[in-house]
Structure 1
């Protein structure tokens, strides 16, 4: 009898210990699986946008160092981007030799497609320069400029780009500029519509950098495939000497107000950068403030890095801008 009592006591004790160990494990397991995401985990979440590279960021490499512009996809991939924003002017040395013949344009498309496919990159858009003034006060010149852009619409369509970026120079008289811009854009967007290509305008000097006026142009055009490419910089409306792109700025539009006014029509966003402080922040542009504006607008597509500084080399500037974008995106509401 004593042995049986002892045996029962031992078994009971083992059961209690086992139950206690099981309960402890369950408690620890529950404690190790919190349902609330920590602040640190939130900060390491993916950004709300995708990263593309504006090819202008490497224009010095191409023009001054002789880097082949067709290495764009390879370099952008190596720098950590997934999208490509081409610049037409970087290929003009080759294309102008044949006066932009169909054969030359086809070769351009074929080479770009082969490289982007090889490196698994997305062709996002083409920035077009030097093809005439779409906002010219002369109707014939305006029409000629529109037709000059047709080949780039065709190229964009063949490359799977969603847009071409165009410029609106034209008159410095607001009423004339708005009317002529609307006419030029409507003509070009009508051609591009059936090819599923957007015609987008960047704030890029002159009255195009007056965001309220550019927004008025978009509202008046009122076409689904006509929109904007808000640039964090490029809000100089008037420069000394009358140039659109160079010289000291005399009149500058508020950049944060400008991006806010252009975002309702945005088909893309350009993260312009110039120089950086020791903490890696842009010295002129508050990236957190800009990105909050972009996020609040509901934009989730590509943001293109466009470095134009003179203190860092192009590669270093590109990487610094990319890092700033990613860091700033972690602290948004």
Structure 2
């Protein structure tokens, strides 16, 4: 393992913000080309992958055919291959052969980063180490993890603080390991306390590590459901709070308000807000309509390209 690990180690925007009721933000004066880049999150094809209609190894090739040149992997689709060097080499060879950039790995099912005990958090960190190593080998800049906590979501101020303390401790520990591989550890708003933009921004800050960042998801601001009704957080405000530490963003074509209401994404409004934070990295499409996954992905790519051209 040590040999393998050593090998892997070497191997008009401010105005738009005001229009949103947000504080005025500094905008870089230099021209950036492209204004932002576009990637595809593998979860967009989850139905095809889970059903066996699509092979994970074909993800890069199919993404290229859809006019996108960067991918975001999901660990669920190669869960037993994280330490299989032959498989990872095949992934890398196929992506490189298509001219596809591997951006990050989204990691699920590896435990609670915000577990209540140091022992449980350490186990979760250990579970993620293989994904840090795989990300390094594939040429990714980050892994995406979850801030799930032993403290269930509630409106209690005590629970708000305890969950933040636990999650920030786990995040710091994982970042310490990932730093040795030049890999960032990103937290996505993914339900519960993490879908409260203020909580997540504060938790990442509390982790106190330069490798700790965010992967804001436009459509993941539903905190919980109670009596059949959604409890949610305003997507535009949440994105504004999370962008200062963002290393990427995930695009779902829906947003939430503070009252449990979901509505279609306003692409121009949201991208104005993202760009106001001087963000010019990957916007990852994470959406695929049932039985027309690729068609809907291409439609979103074309909308993003149109918005990018209009703002350039």
Q: Is the 8 Å Cα contact of residues 272 and 308 (structure 1) preserved in structure 2?
A: no
Displacement of 1:308 in angstroms is 4.5
Partner Cα separation in structure 1 for residue 289 and residue 242 of structure 2: 24
Displacement of 1:317 in angstroms is 1.4
Displacement of 1:82 in angstroms is 1.2
1:175 is paired with a residue whose SS is helix
1:142 is paired with a residue whose SS is helix
Partner Cα separation in structure 2 for residue 261 and residue 298 of structure 1: 14
Q: Which runs of 4+ in 1 moved over 3 A?
A: 330-333
Rg comparison, structure with higher value? 1
TM value normalised by structure 1: 0.76
Q: Is the 8 Å Cα contact of residues 88 and 134 (structure 2) preserved in structure 1?
A: yes
Displacement of 1:46 in angstroms is 6.2
Listed as ranges, the matches of 1:218-233 within 5 Å are 218-233=204-219
Is 2:165 the counterpart of 1:179? yes
How many pairs does the alignment contain? 268
Partner Cα separation in structure 2 for residue 260 and residue 164 of structure 1: 22
Displacement of 1:239 in angstroms is 2.1
Aligned to 2:303: 324
Aligned to 1:302: 282
Aligned to 1:132: 111
1:307 is paired with a residue whose SS is coil
The structure that is helix-richer by fraction is: 1
2:54 is paired with a residue whose SS is coil
Displacement of 1:260 in angstroms is 0.4
2:310 is paired with a residue whose SS is coil
Partner Cα separation in structure 1 for residue 226 and residue 118 of structure 2: 28
Q: Is the 8 Å Cα contact of residues 85 and 124 (structure 1) preserved in structure 2?
A: yes
Displacement of 1:332 in angstroms is 3.4
Q: 1:256 aligns with which of 223, 226, 236?
A: 236
Q: 2:62 aligns with which of 70, 75, 79?
A: 75
Partner Cα separation in structure 1 for residue 281 and residue 128 of structure 2: 25
Partner Cα separation in structure 1 for residue 33 and residue 136 of structure 2: 30
Q: Is the 8 Å Cα contact of residues 50 and 82 (structure 1) preserved in structure 2?
A: no
Post-superposition CA distance 1:213-249 (Å, at most 9, x none):
11101211221111000111100111248xxxxxx65
Listed as ranges, the matches of 1:20-169 within 5 Å are 47-92=34-79, 94-95=80-81, 102=83, 104=84, 106-169=85-148
Partner Cα separation in structure 2 for residue 264 and residue 107 of structure 1: 38
TM value normalised by structure 2: 0.81
Post-superposition CA distance 1:13-59 (Å, at most 9, x none):
xxxxxxxxxxxxxxxxxxxxxxxxxxxxxxxx965111111011111
Partner Cα separation in structure 1 for residue 87 and residue 279 of structure 2: 31
Partner Cα separation in structure 2 for residue 175 and residue 46 of structure 1: 41
1:112 is paired with a residue whose SS is helix
User: Which moved further from structure 2: 123-132 or 283-292?
Assistant: 283-292
Aligned to 1:206: 192
Displacement of 1:138 in angstroms is 3.0
Aligned to 2:177: 191
Q: Is the 8 Å Cα contact of residues 36 and 308 (structure 2) preserved in structure 1?
A: no
CA RMSD of aligned residues (A): 2.1
Structure 1 portions without partners, runs of 5+: 1-44, 242-247, 276-281
2:219 is paired with a residue whose SS is coil
Displacement of 1:274 in angstroms is 5.8
Greater RCO between the two (CA within 8 Å, min separation 6)? 2
Partner Cα separation in structure 2 for residue 65 and residue 118 of structure 1: 23
1:321 is paired with a residue whose SS is helix
Partner Cα separation in structure 2 for residue 327 and residue 88 of structure 1: 31
Partner Cα separation in structure 2 for residue 274 and residue 89 of structure 1: 24
